[in-house]
Copies of this chain bind each other. A is one copy, B any other.
Amino acid sequence: MLGNFSYHNPTKLYFGDDSLKYLREELSNYGKNIQLIYGGGSIKRSGLYDEIVAVLKECGKTIIADAGVMPNPTSEKLVEGAKLARENKVDLLLAVGGGSCCDYAKAVSVSAYCDDDPWEKYYIRFEEPDCEIIPVACVLTMAGTGSEMNGGSVITNHSQKLKIGHVFGDEVMPKFSILNPKYTMTLPKRQMVSGIYDIFNHICEQYFSGEDDNTSDYIAEALMKSVVKSSLIAVDNPEDYEARSNIMWTATWALNTLISRGKETDWMVHMLGQAVGAYTDATHGMTLAAVSLPYYRHIMPYGLKKFARFAVEVWGVNPNGKTDEQVAEEGLSALKSWMKKLGVTLSIGELGADESMIEGIADATIILDGGYKVLDRDEVVAILKESL
């Protein structure tokens, strides 16, 4: 059954190999001061930085540069960015990069005029913004997080060894996002497959919950099938525009609230992965990949029918003459085989974690309900050990 819900997603998207041309028109809706948020040198190497700066200058904008956003943006960086935005009376936060830049822009958006410590307010106490919010926009260069069309923002606090996400409301979501699949092609393969696994896992987190046969689960299966198919093409040929465009579009719809409407969700793989990320600073998608199979094997008995459906609908497992358990097992084997083809990490050990960190990572793991089995701490430890 579809439970009661509301749905509203006001982000405007421009998709395609010509989508940057809409930036000029959109900029006319905002004031003069643009905080240009980006990471390292990759957008300078690709030429995208120069293109965007040229458009900003032609539009008569003042650029406030905010470079050096790291893959897991930190609470310290957030404080600096918020100060920069406040001091420069910024009218628009323009993130150019992947999910980290976009997540960070949203965090700056709600922190610039916030008197509290933003980490404590939004990521520890999970309060909602009660100050002026600066509009955010995004030019996306990596498919994965879905941050281009949602309110999510994940920030890492290294001193507390915590990596926590806050999902803000409509008013913090990007006003517009520019999605050009070609921008994703300059990404190293390891980053590409990490993003692909992130997409797939976002869908799983919303799919593996609930007993009902609702429309959201059908759409989730469609997105999984599409991303699996396109990922295998992109791994062989990262320049395949068709595959990269399907991956980019799937990423957006995997995490813009559509497929969670009317159902429960289970975000435990993200909770485990983020805790590993806080300890190792490893790439987000890789931390998810490394804990996924031990987690799913652990909860499979509690959601057997859904795991069997997953096997049949997503992986084409033939269920004839088999028990639900056998079918479900074949589904997880198919998932593992796809992950190997992608080349994602299957062990948190490879990401820098070791036995001595397990208790600490378990402490940093936020336990959520919504899934087929609410974990206790011993189960978290067991899954982490299994992931080593």
Contacts and interface: CB of A to CB of B under 8 A. Distances in A.
Nearest to A5: B15
A242 B214 contact: yes
Interface stretch (A65-73, A216-224, A360-368): A216-224
Interface in A193-212: 212
Given A213-B229, A218-B222, A4 B15 contact: yes
A18 B4 CA distance: 7
A341 to B, nearest CB: 18
A2 interface: yes
A381 B194 CA distance: 54
A61 to B, nearest CB: 22
A126 interface: no
Nearest to A221: B222
A6 B17 contact: no
A218 B241 CA distance: 18
A15 B10 contact: no
A75 to B, nearest CB: 33
Interface of A: 1-19, 22, 181, 212-216, 218-219, 221-223, 225-226, 229-230, 241-242, 245-246, 249-250, 253, 258, 261-262
Number of copies: 2
Contacts of A4: 15-19
Query: Counting chain B CB atoms within 10 Å of each CB, which of A9, A214, A246 scores highest?
Result: A246
A245 B262 contact: yes
A6 B18 contact: no
Contact of A8 (B13, B19, B214, B219): B13
Given A2-B181, A213-B242, A219-B222, 13 more contacts: A4-B19, A5-B16, A7-B12, A10-B10, A15-B261, A16-B262, A214-B245, A214-B249, A215-B249, A218-B222, A219-B223, A249-B261, A253-B258
A250 B215 contact: yes
A255 to B, nearest CB: 14
B242 A212 contact: yes
Nearest to A12: B8
Query: Counting chain B CB atoms within 10 Å of each CB, which of A12, A218, A261 scores highest?
Result: A218
B9 A9 contact: yes
Contacts of A246: 2, 213-215
